[in-house]
Amino acid sequence: MLILSFFCLFVFGPFYDHITMQLIVFIGILGWNALRFSLRETVSLLKFCLPFVFTLFIFGLIFHFTRLFGRQDWLQDTFIKCMVFPSSLIFLKVLLSYITYLDILSLPISMKKRIDLITLKSAFSKGERILRRFSWYLNTYSVLKSGSNIKYTLKKYACLIIALYLYLYEEIDHSNRLLRNRYQHFQETNK
Amino acid sequence: MEIKRGTYRLEARGLVFDLVDDLNLNNGPNCFYFRGGNGFGKTSFLEKIIIPALKTDTVQYVYIGQDIRTQLYTLKALLSVQGIKVSGSDEVELLRLWINHSRSARVFILDEFDKYFADYGFIFDWSAAFIRTYIIVSHLAYHQSEAVAQKYPVCNVRFDLIDFDGHIRNVRITKE
């Protein structure tokens, strides 16, 4: 219910266009995360979001300067997206931290949806940890470092996003298949 | 590039190294074998002492970490961003493509690569033309690759645990 309300109000709903409101929500969620975990963890989470926000920002700038589709509000929309994206991600992460795997299992929803939620929760915790390691490896690739600093940062972030996508795609697919197979096996054994 | 003898503290990782001899990593074609038991800080020494020193001296290197399955995701991304087709390539092919595109590297670091490929002579076949120094981290129980023993002067570097107070491991590093 809380998740639905958040997304209906701030992501797809009436407050999406309000920059001040989005800024307050963003700061509020960061504060919530700092209280729930720690300030250090919050900073690390912001670093996790940085490649995605940076990419969003660069695309927003390109769209703004090329006046894509004749729109004049690309810059404002980009700023909003740069806040909405980390807000929604951190909001989901903090909320999911209150919910244990056992809580998910006792939810009055279908087993398929429970398995999807379990996979989502697991992907969140894995993704954050793995991104640091990916970033470390990418820093060792000298081939990325040819060219200017901005080119290097862009290429590194592009690699980070692709690597994370590949990892999560395979991990989610694997975990989801494993859970479904185990559940199916469990049901067949019970019969 | 030289790592001077002395004490190196990585207290955040619970390690203090006593490097007994200077490590000259840029002294002609050479192969350094770092050997020691689990938890003696071989990987930490690589990642926190050797690699930063290589970066400071702007020596280009290729590093294959022991969590190679994780690293492969970054290699797929790196090669894709460079416009190289990687779909359908297995892990050996990915490594070959990457090594082939790292010809400016002079140092090659393999961290417990023998856990995945017992015979890793192919790495030397692909890289010997441009690599001058190999640093190979291996567990004590593993044997040296035949390909290395035949082609390069080998320097064994041994990691020994001197004491452990429950928090910090004091490790002595010596050249054999």
Per-residue model confidence as pLDDT tens for chain A (191 residues): 777 777 777 777 777 778 888 888 889 988 999 998 888 888 878 887 887 888 888 888 888 888 777 777 788 888 888 888 888 888 888 888 888 888 888 888 888 888 888 888 887 777 777 888 898 999 999 888 777 878 888 888 889 889 988 888 888 888 888 888 888 888 888 77
Q: Are B101 and A143 in contact (CB < 8 Å)? A: yes
- The whole domain housing A173 covers 101-191
pLDDT of the residue at B147: 58
The domain spanning residue B34 has which CATH number? 3.40.50.300
Strand order from edge to edge, sheet including B154-164: B6-10, B15-19, B169-175, B154-164, B30-36, B133-139, B107-111, B61-64
Q: How far apart are CA B40 and CA A46, in angstroms?
A: 33
The one-letter code for the residue type at B75 is L
Q: Does A131 touch chain B (CB under 8 A)?
A: no
**Which residues does chain A have within 8 Å of residue B47's beta carbon, measured at their own beta carbons?**
136
What's the number of domains chain A is made of? 2
Same domain, A58 and A128: no
Give B37 to chain A, closest Cα distance, Å: 23
Q: Which amino acid is at A29?
A: I
Same domain, A89 and A2: yes
What pLDDT was estimated at residue B144? 62
Q: Residue B108 forms beta bridges with which residues?
A: B62, B134
Q: How far, in Å, are A108, B71, B87 from residue B111 at the CA level?
A: 48, 12, 26
The ipTM estimated for the assembled molecules is 0.86
Residues of A in contact with B70 (CB under 8 A): 130, 133-134, 137, 167
B80: in domain: no
Burial class (CB in 10 A: 0-12, 13-18, 19+), A55: middle
Which of B132, B173, B170, B172 is closest to B153 using CA atoms?
B132
Distance from CA of A158 to the nearest CA of B (A): 7
Residues from chain B that touch A163, judged by Cβ atoms under 8 A, are 73-74, 76-77
- Domain count for chain B: 1
Q: Supply the pLDDT for residue B6.
A: 93
Which one of A133, A144, A164 has the shortest CB-CB distance to B78?
A144
A94 and A180 co-located in one domain: no
Host domain of residue B12 = 2-67+103-175
Q: Check whether residue A22 and residue A90 sit in a common domain.
A: yes
| Predicted pLDDT of residue B145 | 58
Task: Tell me whether residue B12 is in a domain.
Answer: yes
User: How would you write the pLDDT of chain B (176 residues) with one tens digit per residue?
Assistant: 789 999 999 988 999 999 999 988 877 778 898 999 888 999 999 999 999 999 999 899 999 998 898 999 999 999 998 888 888 888 999 999 999 988 889 999 999 888 888 888 888 889 989 998 999 998 765 566 565 656 778 888 999 999 998 899 999 999 88
